A = this chain, B = another copy of it.
């Protein structure tokens, strides 16, 4: 992952409404939720929500599919995994590290992609 992509993904999550939307979509899983339901659940105006969803989608964190009149959004877990890997890359220079670190750094427990 390139740093600009990571920055874009983090910026997409660094906003209260968008983070709430993303967490809702994580909870919903692969089935996703239609845009209207998201706005209803979180109390976000349609035009604001559209702006935020576009931001999340452009960052690759969510995907959308059209289903009849509804646009259904869902979390892109692969992108989140890539982001997490990028942030903890080469943790502690590859040396064994304590429990706090090892939780954040997948390389300690096994392969490090």
Contact = CB atoms under 8 A, between A and B. Distances in A.
Contact of A87 (B13, B86, B105, B106): B13
Q: How large is the interface on A (under 10, 10 to 19, 20 to 34, 35 or more residues)?
A: 35 or more
A76 to B, nearest CB: 8
Interface in A2-40: 3-4, 6-7, 10-11, 13-16, 19-20, 22-23, 26-30
A41 interface: no
Contacts of A28: 92-93
A64 to B, nearest CB: 17
Contact of A101 (B15, B77, B86, B91): B77
Interface in A82-96: 84, 86-93, 95
